[in-house]
Amino acid sequence: MINTILHENTLAGNAIVGQSGGPTAAINATLAGVIRGVLDEQRADGRIPHLYGMRNGVDGLLREDIIELDSVFAPDADGNYTALDTLTLTPAAALGSCRRKLPAPGAADEAEVMDKLFSILEKYNIRYFFYIGGNDSMDTVAKVSAYAEKIGYPIRVVGVPKTIDNDLVGTDHTPGFGSAAKYIAVTMQEILRDTAVYTVPAVTIVEIMGRDAGWLTASSALGRLISGQAPDLVYLPERPFSHEEFFEDVRAALDRHPNVVVAVSEGLQCADGSYVGEGTQSGAVDVFGHRYLAGTAKALELAVKDKFGCKVRSVELNLPQRCAAHLVSAQDIEESLEVGRCAVVAALSGVTREMMTIRRVSDAPYNFEVGHEDIRKIANMTRAVPDEFINGRGNNVTDECLAYLLPLIRGERYPAFDRGLPVHWIF
Amino acid sequence: MINTILHENTLAGNAIVGQSGGPTAAINATLAGVIRGVLDEQRADGRIPHLYGMRNGVDGLLREDIIELDSVFAPDADGNYTALDTLTLTPAAALGSCRRKLPAPGAADEAEVMDKLFSILEKYNIRYFFYIGGNDSMDTVAKVSAYAEKIGYPIRVVGVPKTIDNDLVGTDHTPGFGSAAKYIAVTMQEILRDTAVYTVPAVTIVEIMGRDAGWLTASSALGRLISGQAPDLVYLPERPFSHEEFFEDVRAALDRHPNVVVAVSEGLQCADGSYVGEGTQSGAVDVFGHRYLAGTAKALELAVKDKFGCKVRSVELNLPQRCAAHLVSAQDIEESLEVGRCAVVAALSGVTREMMTIRRVSDAPYNFEVGHEDIRKIANMTRAVPDEFINGRGNNVTDECLAYLLPLIRGERYPAFDRGLPVHWIF
């Protein structure tokens, strides 16, 4: 069995790491964790002579667009990892990303693409393959590891999760989510202050990322546990959206106070499966077949204006949700680094075809530990917000939901600034 | 002459302060400065027994919706101004705001409204009137001071400027602008990182606040001076917008690299006076007759998609530009506090019917001093970005412009956090 060979902990050779999928404010922290893990190994055992980075994920790998990382991020004479610290708090994917889906087993182009990929891995003597990404990236991990087994190429392939959407199964939560959740929760507090200044009735509708899962939208309500300040209404894509009930909810909220704030997920769908933002969306799909949505809040803004005639504003939080590295969760950054570092440790001990996971050990005080899970149980599955985290009416989240979310946004960590602007790492 | 009486520095009585116009991340710092100025005076001379706050500006004053402030913000036993520090970094207008325009001299309702207002001022023995706001608020300062002179009511009326738009005349810049500019400059750096991760040609259009003046949009280019990272194209409302030239500019940028980023002001107008976002706007006007704009970036997104067929995304930075108190300019907060404090000092020395101003003493190192200017030279006028700050083609700002802006975003100051969320002051 090839697995027996792989699980021996003596495999020696180079490592490569790539980033894939949508960027986050913490994905470079995970990359920094992988780099740190390899640098530590080099000083300990020296089984991984070099760490390479693929530019733009498997896209760059197939073009042999590869850079060496271990020399770039080696500690300075005083033992400080200054460059790695800068990388850690740089938003987006410093190596570049891609959305390429590798051919399915048995597809016409499978051998061509995969043989090309493995010839490049062999050329660089790659024995460790780390891929940081979301659901679609775990699909890449599954295919690379399956093909390696099929052709008998000795390599350990480990997926390192990141996604602001928090929708991967097998892990308590995903690196990157806590920082996005914190940005959303903080920004919602600020929007609540902003909308409170006038006395004329007004409805503000805030659109939050999350195509299929409402985790980020749920995070907008976190202030309820702390300052008591939260949006009046919170709608997640896990429940069918009813315009009629929505209008009733808004009317009831306007009866209570003049400044109504509503949080909506970009992926809200009506009971018939149509998207709430459909009227204002492009209808385009991305390469994975996901429909591209835009304008859920805008569509509801027009509907509320039409129904109530009051002042209505829509705010789409947009890209800053995933790239606001100036406001990250210290907890999320710590975990992102640790998951990356542990991926190297796990691969060295023989782990392959697995995704790193985070297990919540305790809530008060919050503690976590890093583990790993068979990629075949994880790839191409999504984890929705469970029923008990949403109230009966489907217009808010429960305190149980907020208690789950709260530890993930704790702590602040700020990048270095130069003359007023944050210092980012750029290759 | 009543002015002679007013300019004696012995006027004793209470003070009142109000906030008006759109909220900013620094307007509460200015309020904190006024409060601190009065608290200092109370300990020194005791000429101002009480400081009141009007809720929702002159709207609340006319309803006699007034709260006492000096007792709330008095220092604690150890001499710490903890409550005032929290107020300083709370976004939006803690006292509430309004957009009420007082009747013009000679208007049918002038006597009714103004006599009501002065009867309430008299009831509370108000001799010092501080009004924090933008252009429309300075109009209120002018009317209250003119009416006081007309009826011989001894009061000193001082305007304290704030506006993220930086469009007031008579001052080098306005409190609140630096923090909004910093938020925009930092967020632009993060968006540049985010958009750089893919290799397929894409255009990202970022819409920035500023109806008539392009100061905030100009700030999005500040990275050019520091990291060399800046949007490819920057369009301000000071120049007529040509779709034809815009398409040429975007084409040239796409020829240079795949990830084109464009910053546009919400107020862009074509040579015929039509708004670029007109097709997607409501056409409504606010009470001051300003047209309500929305969708300049969205309109350009659709135009670029139609013209080039490439991936296009629009991002409206929206409310966080003016309320992101988690990322303020330390320089701006220092000046906002100081302008508020100096308003009290000036009024005590006899100043009335004036607006506080900021003068730039030097650039390197940057230094400022606070002064004041006759309100009649300031109210209802706007200050546009000057010609020499915009390049010849009208598609970017000059280095001279960036040099003017740079000192205003310097330094970071963070609010206190409680379990992951910022602590705000709420009355």
- pLDDT mean over B203-216: 96
Confidence check: pLDDT of A289 > 60: no
Residue B292's pLDDT band, with cuts at 50, 70 and 90, is: very low
Confidence check: pLDDT of B322 > 80: yes
Q: Does A311 touch chain B (CB under 8 A)?
A: no
Q: Which amino acid is at A349?
A: S
pLDDT at B327 (0 to 100): 97
**Contact yes or no for A315 and B315 at CB 8 A:** no
Residue B135's pLDDT band, with cuts at 50, 70 and 90, is: confident
Confidence check: pLDDT of B1 > 50: no
pLDDT at A1 (0 to 100): 30
Q: Does A185 touch chain B (CB under 8 A)?
A: yes
Confidence check: pLDDT of B4 > 70: no
Angle between helices A330-348 and A177-195 (to 10 degrees): 170
Q: Does A302 touch chain B (CB under 8 A)?
A: no
- pLDDT mean over A282-294: 46
Q: Are strands B202-208 and B259-265 parallel, antiparallel or unpaired?
A: parallel
Confidence check: pLDDT of A6 > 60: no
Q: By CB neighbour count within 10 A (0-12 exposed, 13-18 middle, 19+ buried), where does A392 fall? A: exposed
Confidence check: pLDDT of A284 > 50: no
Express each pLDDT in A380-414 by its tens digit. Answer: 788 999 999 999 999 999 999 999 999 999 999 99
Contacts of B91 in chain A (CB under 8 A): 190, 193-194
Express each pLDDT in A185-197 by its tens digit. Answer: 999 999 999 999 9
**DSSP 3-state assignment of B138?**
helix
Could you say which residues from 126 to 165 on chain A have a Cβ atom under 8 Å away from some Cβ of chain B?
Answer: none
Confidence check: pLDDT of A309 > 70: yes
- Look-up of token digits 């490049």: A120
Confidence check: pLDDT of A282 > 70: no
Residue of B nearest to A317 (CA): B317
**DSSP 3-state assignment of B373?**
strand
pLDDT at A380 (0 to 100): 79
Q: Are strands A51-54 and A259-265 parallel, antiparallel or unpaired?
A: unpaired
| Structure tokens, A367 | 């503690």
pLDDT at B109 (0 to 100): 97
pLDDT at B364 (0 to 100): 87
Task: State the catalytic residues of B.
Answer: 165
A204: which strand partners?
A: A261, A313
pLDDT at B378 (0 to 100): 85
Q: Are strands A311-316 and A51-54 parallel, antiparallel or unpaired?
A: unpaired
Please provide the average confidence, as pLDDT, over all residues in chain B. Answer: 93
pLDDT at B296 (0 to 100): 93
pLDDT at A393 (0 to 100): 98
Calculate the dihedral angle through the C-alpha atoms of A335, A336, A340, A343, rounding to the nearest 10 degrees: 50
Express each pLDDT in B28-57 by its tens digit. Answer: 999 999 999 999 999 999 999 999 999 999
Express each pLDDT in B336-384 by its tens digit. Answer: 999 999 999 999 999 999 999 999 999 989 999 999 999 988 877 889 9
| Residues A359/A338, Cβ–Cβ less than 8 Å | no
Task: State the catalytic residues of A.
Answer: 165
Please provide the average confidence, as pLDDT, over all residues in chain A. Answer: 93
Q: How far apart are CA A168 and CA A24, in angstroms?
A: 15
Q: How far apart are CA A265 and CA A248, in angstroms?
A: 19
